[in-house]
Amino acid sequence: MRFKKLIVKKPGDEPPKPQPKSRRGKYNAKGEHIDGFWFASAAEGKRYLQLKAMQEQGKIEGLELQPKFPITINSKPITTYRGDFLDERHRIERVVVEDVKGMVTDVYALKKKMVEASYAISINEIPAKEIDKWEQRVG
Q: What is the pLDDT of residue 35?
A: 94
Q: What is the pLDDT of residue 51?
A: 95
Q: Which residues in 115-135 are b (16+ Cβ under 10 Å) and which e? A: beeeeeeebeebebeebeebe
Architecture of the domain delimited by 43-134: 3-Layer(aba) Sandwich (3.40)
Q: What is the pLDDT of residue 137?
A: 72
Q: What is the pLDDT of residue 11?
A: 55
pLDDT in tens, 69-103: 999 999 999 999 999 999 998 666 788 899 999 99
Q: What is the pLDDT of residue 6?
A: 45
Given a cut of 70, the residues of the chain with pLDDT beneath it are 1-29, 90-92, 136, 138-139
Q: What is the pLDDT of residue 10?
A: 52
Q: Are 34 and 48 in contact (CB under 8 A)?
A: yes
Q: What is the pLDDT of residue 19?
A: 44
For residues 103 and 97, give the distance between their C-alpha atoms in angstroms, rounded to a whole number.
Answer: 18
Amino acid (one-letter) located at 46: K
